[in-house]
Structure 1
């Protein structure tokens, strides 16, 4: 069975090689380990593999924390934006050209998900709603006496933007636009 060496001992061998410029034979003598292990550790150190973890490779990140904050504030302000609109706003405001897959990855990392739009009425007021419920309870003691029609969420643009972004676990709400009556 091969002998196990601690991570501290392995790290010490790399430090003796890189910082103190000792030869492999001197490291073997000081630490009492075999030269094959020292060569393996030096090779891992020079290739970037240290303690079984490789340093990040690939393309450098194109999005930094300021860009992520900008995207978050943009989505919180206008959650119904399409990805290409977010991409264009990021290019104009921050000067960053990113691809749609990178933007999808960033949104997933920021915990934004695509949601179906639910519309809140403009007239919604919790105090007035509670007063109305009490008033209706006095007027109609039986529920079968009431009939309701809901037109509060009617909006000419509701059919255009049915989806939006919201944080995972929360709903995407929008408010209908106030449009001038047609002439």
Structure 2
């Protein structure tokens, strides 16, 4: 792989960090007409200091269409108008005393 191929790999991983090695291999073949083995691709990623990729749960659950729809509907309102409530830590037993 030459420097242009490595730059291409870096750019597609920046755009889509959840790609698997075989998907990167396919994109290299389609876009740059470069056929490379999975092992070579893995070694190249290691040289680029990309050991393994991790996608956060928030990023994996993000829905771009839903986000754009929400912005179109409520994007004109000032942020001071919003109140966000997080009920993930609600436990009805916290109001009860364990003793006395």
TM-score range, shorter chain: 0.5 to 0.7
- Structure with higher Rg: it is 1
Pairwise mapping of residues 67-82 of structure 1 onto structure 2 (< 5 A)?
67-82=5-20
Pick the aligned partner of 1:83 from 11, 21, 24: 21
CA RMSD in angstroms comes to 2.9
1:148 maps to what in 2? Answer: 87
The structure that is helix-richer by fraction is 2
The structure that is strand-richer by fraction is 1
Unaligned 5+ segments in structure 2 are 68-78, 90-100
TM-score, structure 1 normalization: 0.34
Q: Return the offset for 1:147.
A: 6.9
Residues 115 and 70 of structure 1: CA distance in aligned 2, closer, same or farther (over 3 Å): closer
Unaligned 5+ segments in structure 1 are 1-62, 137-145, 151-183
Name segments (4+ residues, structure 1) moved above 6 Å: none
Aligned residue-pair number: 72
